[in-house]
Amino acid sequence: MKTFSALLLCLAVAALSSAFVISPPHMWTKLILTHHWPRTFCSMEHCHPNLTYWTLHGLWPDKGIDCNSSWHFNASEIEDLLPEMKKSWPDLLNPTSSGFWKYEWHKHGTCAAKAESLNSQHKYFSKALELYHKVDLNSILTKFDIIPSETYYKLSQIEGVIENFYGVTPKIQCAHPSKNADVQTLGQIEICFNTDFTLLDCEKQYTGHRDKPMAVNKVTGFNVCDQDTPVYYPPPYTN
């Protein structure tokens, strides 16, 4: 009887161990594709890019940060992607530097890499670019007359376009100059995906992602836009 009990105990421990192998800690369940509006970001960080489109900020798994500090960024592994990276995923503060991509890889890419579909630097960065072009936020907003201008929008107008076209809820973030400001400035839009890269509703509350070096400070940073405050979608800088 004791032998049988011991055998059952061993089997239970083995099953438990297998479960941990199958479900590693910090395995993510959602990816967050984050877009920046350069004019808003740079109005707070004192940069002056001549960009007229939403740029990619990052592809963030919902769990884990800096999952493998020994897995160093290597630009040579994504050499074929660099022309598109510079255009679609630029470092707005240091356009000639790869420091921003290095940071995104260390903080988010090494965690995304827990999935086989993203388990290399090339897979991670190329998938982010693929999803960015698949969403094509610039074209969709323009198509439905959400364009940068001096005219203010209701948040529901911007949300409605994205929800109706993609069938999912985005998380839209604004810069709030002060607590009781009469207007908020459109700055960041998150579109979410399942583990199989199908679209998914985003949670609207703050998720704890605040990146550097392309971060905004805690006083004037991006927060989920207020439903009742007019939204300013500022035109790009002009030469």
Q: Would you write out the chain's pLDDT as a tens digit for each of its 239 residues?
A: 444 444 334 434 344 333 333 345 558 999 999 999 999 999 988 888 889 999 999 999 999 999 999 999 999 999 999 999 999 999 999 998 999 999 999 999 999 999 999 999 999 999 999 999 999 999 999 999 999 999 999 999 999 999 999 999 999 999 987 766 799 999 999 999 999 999 999 986 544 444 544 444 343 479 999 999 999 999 997 76
Nearest to 210 by CA among 37, 57, 25, 101: 57
In-domain check, residue 7: no
CA pair distance 84, 80, nearest whole angstrom = 9
In-domain check, residue 20: no
Residues 224, 126, 163, 107, Cα dihedral to 10°: -20
In-domain check, residue 11: no
In-domain check, residue 13: no
In-domain check, residue 63: yes
Burial (CB < 10 A; 0-12, 13-18, 19+), residue 137, is buried
Residue 115 is classified by DSSP as: S
Judge whether 106 counts as a catalytic residue: no
Which amino acid, 160?
G
**How many CB atoms are located within 10 Å of the residue 32 CB?**
22
Give the structural domain span for 123: 28-232
Judge whether 79 counts as a catalytic residue: no
Which one from 35, 36, 106, 108 is the annotated catalytic residue? 108
Q: What is the CATH number of the domain that holds 103?
A: 3.90.730.10
Terminus-to-terminus CA distance in the chain, angstroms?
85
Nearest to 172 by CA among 144, 137, 131: 137
> What sign does the dihedral 161-87-78-187 (CA atoms) show?
negative
Which one from 35, 36, 104, 159 is the annotated catalytic residue? 104
Cβ atoms of 118 and 60 closer than 8 Å: no
pTM given for the model: 0.83
Count the domains in the chain.
1
In-domain check, residue 42: yes
In-domain check, residue 83: yes
Q: Are strands 231-232 and 184-193 parallel, antiparallel or unpaired?
A: parallel
In-domain check, residue 15: no
Judge whether 57 counts as a catalytic residue: yes
Which one from 57, 159, 176, 190 is the annotated catalytic residue? 57
Rg of the chain taking only CA atoms, in angstroms: 21
